[in-house]
Chains A and B, each alone.
Chain A
């Protein structure tokens, strides 16, 4: 008989009784503290359940409210009772009613016997803890907290900020260095009795009664005064979420708990029958004795916290709909937008798809219908090619597409003839790679068979739209990777820009571009622009095309463009 267990019980008393019986039945004394808020009948039932065990005691009941002194007072009295009644106890283990022993208690005894003078209590200075809720750490010890955080949050917050404003500070008793830590500890008789029998205890108690959440700091601080050997960790496996409430274990955590090699876990769901059955009554194959190793569980819960606080980037769904700029990534993966490339090159989409191995769509935002790759009418995620559906929520269309095709890079064409809602959205999206050959929309007009008056009108319209788009792309707030060339620049040396785009899409590809896409025949384009000018329009975005000069067609002789033929 070397370990005594103190259990603080609030709810699920039957489960607490099961666990108490587990320990007491094996000869380890248990002292239970039952919350005063538990009904008379509930308490009576619990005492009846454990009546046959002579090493179970019930300590004086306190009304326990979260974050208040009552929990410490309850622990103190239970500890005193334990030390007084059971002289053989060397270590006192503080547990709760929803704790569950994961390994045979004899193993715990052996473990503690191997560390006879060690106090297992998480005890960290306030400067070093990052987990305090509400950003209140050292202030727990220097402010006053007359209002309940749970029931009267507004008053609590107001009073805290008021004290901050008037720079109120309580004096911390001499000799105390505030420490915080998990409230579940295992202390040696020596340390615990020293704390409880301290001549200054009254002063300390008076001080801690006004500290916020003293159950996480009273023993953690006072242990530092007496213990010769503190192991600053808790033997109880207990994880907290981002709001500071404990994670709960269910039946499906069985294997994780088994492999954690921890001695006691908290908190167990009261209806997790399989867990209680397995760990309390199961024979359980004897595993080799190992140090507690909650790594896997840590990761599981760390991931849960991450999911709750940061979420999956680029996902918009029923329970994640971030305000603008809080998306943590507007879309979930990089994608490329090309403006003017299909106009300038023949069969550009096939070429791009072959070169980069990515999915290349046509004009996704075309006015008539969504031009999915391969002319599909429905695409990944069952997205429809209806332009009406797309335009109903153009932004969701893009974010959905990128989300649905995770793992495959998407490229699509864009131009001034398309639906234009998305300029700003893409410009502010760091996943977007936008490449524009400005003015290339004129090429289809140039090759079309329309009346010149109609062409002129359409050209003016498209130029205006593209001009607006370019203005957006040139804004100082832009996050996308943006490249803009005038058509004249691009035609002059197409390979270099293409290479840089491809390199960015596919940074690990070592090969230089071998095959260039074929440029459309631009003979007479300069004259076409001059005609537009003659009709009173000012084609600006194409850059300077000399009238009458034949732009060199690619694939012809690799001559320097400024050499006169």
Chain B
């Protein structure tokens, strides 16, 4: 990459950081417990809107994994999410009524919070319906992973979004608070993903899965991106540019090996397709606060109307991370 290009990207990064700095005004602290964050703590950052029913399991999942503190941006929830989070002793909460879209889908808000509180910490940026799975996650805490990444001088860890869905209609089994969503949505597509390289930012652009198969067979280029880099040893000069799909500086996007080897990577199990989904997509359709004019949600609404079953006979039933490793969806790299 030429000098000119890196200069342009540097400017872009400055711009995003400045934007995040401006957007900080939109965030109103509800409860700020960041004082208790220790020097080596692992932090989770998340934006949410009306996810009350998911929160107990979400918090439990990441606490068990070894996350020390949660920082939430609540985008004007009215279902008690905020009140619930306030009671949690390891959560700090900000709230805003501002536009989700205008904050580039929450990226600006979280960029600011990460600049402020995430510097020199391992930061995991996930939505409340995303659950990180990494190699050996059944026997090793996330600190084992971050310690290993530190020792290997690796700053960022990729985890592809893996859409999970139930067998049968999405609304057949209601999700109950506090339960594991993957007891209901425990199927996934194992081998229909396509990858392209984004030469400008150096990241991979992954598409496919049940969403491309069921909702975008006629316009695959519009299928949602599945590549994510959620876990980063944050520096205040870093910035996410588009959701957690890519970052600047662009060296952080190089979570893949180009010379035939495999780097270590994980998966973000996506519990989007539960009974809550139909309601949510109807709501998002009217709010129009999502990417590309909520095109995705329009496609969902159209696709779900007549055939709400994402399951097919080649769907794979989720067992554990080793299964994902064998299927080639994630890799242990040289972590053994």
Name A residues whose Cβ lies closer than 8 Å to a Cβ of B. Answer: 241-243, 245, 247-248, 250-252, 269-271, 300-301, 303-305, 307-312, 315-323, 326-328, 378-384, 386, 388-389, 392-393, 396-397, 400, 403-404
Contacts and interface: CB of A to CB of B under 8 A. Distances in A.
A504 B257 CA distance: 34
B143 A271 contact: yes
B312 A378 contact: yes
A389 B260 contact: no
B261 A310 contact: yes
Contacts of A383: 191-192, 314
B259 A323 contact: yes
Contacts of B330: 317-319
Given A304-B335, A319-B333, A403-B328, 14 more contacts: A242-B334, A252-B139, A271-B147, A300-B336, A307-B261, A307-B334, A308-B262, A318-B159, A319-B263, A319-B265, A320-B256, A321-B197, A382-B192, A384-B213
A381 B256 CA distance: 22
A250 B256 CA distance: 25
Given A304-B334, A381-B190, A388-B218, A320 B152 contact: no
A307 B143 contact: no
A480 to B, nearest CB: 20
A393 B205 CA distance: 12
B256 A321 contact: yes
Contacts of A380: 191, 314
A392 B152 contact: no
B75 interface: no
Nearest to B316: A382
A203 B208 CA distance: 66
Contacts of A320: 256-257, 260-263, 331
Nearest to A391: B220
Contacts of A252: 136, 139-140
Nearest to A247: B336
Nearest to B151: A245
A328 B262 CA distance: 12
A312 B262 contact: yes
Contacts of B84: none
Contacts of A247: 336
Which of A303, A319, A379 has its CB near the most chain B CB atoms (within 10 A)?
Answer: A319
A1 to B, nearest CB: 35
Nearest to B147: A269
B185 to A, nearest CB: 15
A316 B144 contact: no
Contacts of A250: 136, 139-140, 144
Interface string B320-336: 00000000111111111
28 contacts: A248-B147, A250-B144, A269-B147, A271-B141, A301-B336, A304-B336, A308-B257, A308-B334, A309-B261, A310-B261, A311-B257, A311-B260, A311-B262, A317-B193, A318-B158, A318-B265, A320-B262, A321-B258, A378-B313, A381-B314, A382-B189, A383-B191, A384-B213, A386-B220, A388-B217, A389-B213, A403-B191, A404-B190
Contacts of B143: 271
A226 B127 CA distance: 64
Interface residues of B, number: 59
A384 B192 contact: yes
Contact of B195 (A269, A307, A310, A321): A321
Contact of B331 (A270, A319, A388): A319
Contacts of A248: 147-148, 151
A318 B336 contact: no
Interface string B188-202: 011111111100000
Contacts of A307: 261-262, 331-334
B221 interface: yes
A554 B6 CA distance: 67
A382 B140 contact: no
B227 A318 contact: yes
A382 B210 contact: yes
Contacts of A316: 195
B315 interface: yes
A392 B195 CA distance: 10
B264 interface: yes
Interface of B: 136, 139-141, 143-144, 147-148, 151-152, 158-160, 189-197, 204, 206, 210, 212-213, 216-221, 227, 255-265, 312-316, 328-336
A260 to B, nearest CB: 14
B152 A319 contact: no
Given A317-B331, A380-B191, A403-B328, A388 B220 contact: yes
A269 B191 contact: no
Given A307-B262, A323-B258, A392 B144 contact: no
B221 A392 contact: yes
A404 B160 CA distance: 18
Contacts of B189: 381-382
A425 to B, nearest CB: 14
B320 to A, nearest CB: 13
Which of A322, A382, A396, A400 has its CB near the most chain B CB atoms (within 10 A)?
Answer: A382
Contact of A389 (B147, B152, B190, B217): B217
Given A311-B260, A317-B331, A392 B336 contact: no
A541 B129 CA distance: 58
A317 B328 contact: yes
A400 B195 CA distance: 11
Contacts of B136: 250, 252
Given A378-B313, A382-B312, A388-B220, A269 B263 contact: no
Which of A311, A323, A380 has its CB near the most chain B CB atoms (within 10 A)?
Answer: A311
Contacts of B158: 318-319
B142 to A, nearest CB: 11
Given A252-B136, A307-B261, A318-B255, A392 B194 contact: yes
Contacts of A308: 257, 261-263, 333-334
A248 B264 CA distance: 15
A305 B261 CA distance: 9
Nearest to A310: B260
Which are the 6 A-B pairs with shortest beta-carbon distances?
A381-B191, A308-B334, A319-B265, A304-B336, A393-B194, A386-B217
Nearest to A304: B336
Contacts of A323: 258-259
Contacts of B329: 317-318
A50 B263 CA distance: 41
A312 B328 contact: yes
A328 B334 contact: no
A247 B139 CA distance: 17
A273 to B, nearest CB: 11
Contacts of B193: 317, 396, 400
Contacts of B148: 248
Contacts of B258: 321-323, 326
A397 B194 CA distance: 8
B206 A318 contact: yes
A102 B196 CA distance: 48
B217 A382 contact: no
A326 B260 contact: yes
Contacts of A243: 152
A316 B207 CA distance: 13
Nearest to B210: A382
Contact of B196 (A271, A304, A393): A393
A400 B193 CA distance: 8
Contacts of B227: 318
A315 to B, nearest CB: 5
Nearest to A271: B143
A10 to B, nearest CB: 12
B161 to A, nearest CB: 10
Contact of B204 (A271, A321, A328, A382): A321
B191 A404 contact: yes
A388 B217 CA distance: 6
